[in-house]
Structure 1
Amino acid sequence: MSHTYILHSAILNKFYIGACHEDLEQRIENHNAGTYGAKSFTSITNDWVLFLKFDCDNYAHAIRLERKIKSMKSSVYIQNLTKYAELQDKIFNETKST
């Protein structure tokens, strides 16, 4: 299974949006450990926690969903995703392959 995930850092008060086709818990641990290099955005801090995740059927869908959320460029939109299940369903279904 693949995932699109949103992490939040309380220290930075920022979100990070990503996609993976591996163990999500391990992926978050890697972000917090700085495994992805000193130049990666998540290496700035080590307090990343899972804010929201989408379980996708395949990695291609996870990437499309990640890009769609990133294109919104809005922390308010990300917060609304947790408040309104219909918004989650809409964006999930919009990014499924046709």
Structure 2
Amino acid sequence: MNRFYIGYSSNIGLRLEFHKHPDTRKFTSNAQDWILYYKIDCTTKSQALAIEAHIKRMKSKVYIVNLIKHPEITTKLLEKYRDC
């Protein structure tokens, strides 16, 4: 995988289609092969946005890959941001 898109959505299928459509976004519509790599189920929108911001602040492809390799990272993120 070359690049990752990190974002919040309450409807993942719709969000993927949005990014694939050429009339919506120039950057994301350049690639038609977007796949869902990893999903974190959050209890609230504010928790999801806080975790999204955390992952983006990391600016690390390795960190994103490690989310799958080490499920305890996700558990810690959900705990850390549970009261958001």
Question: Normalising by structure 2, what TM-score?
Answer: 0.87
State the percentage of identical aligned residues.
Answer: 38
Moved over 4 A (4+): none
Contact 2:20 2:28 in 1 (8 A): yes
Q: Name the structure with the higher helix share.
A: 2
User: Secondary structure of 1:16's match?
Assistant: coil
**1:32 pairs with 2:7:** no
Are positions 1:47 and 2:33 aligned together?
yes
Structure 2 portions without partners, runs of 5+: none
Does the CA-based 8 Å contact 1:68-1:95 persist in structure 2?
Answer: no
AA partner of residue 94 (structure 1)? K
Equivalent in 69, 75, 88 of residue 74 of structure 2: 88
The question of 1:14 aligning with 2:3 is answered: yes
Q: TM-score, normalised by structure 1?
A: 0.76
More strand by share: 1
* Aligned counterpart, 2:52: 66
**In angstroms, what is the RMSD of aligned CA positions?**
1.6
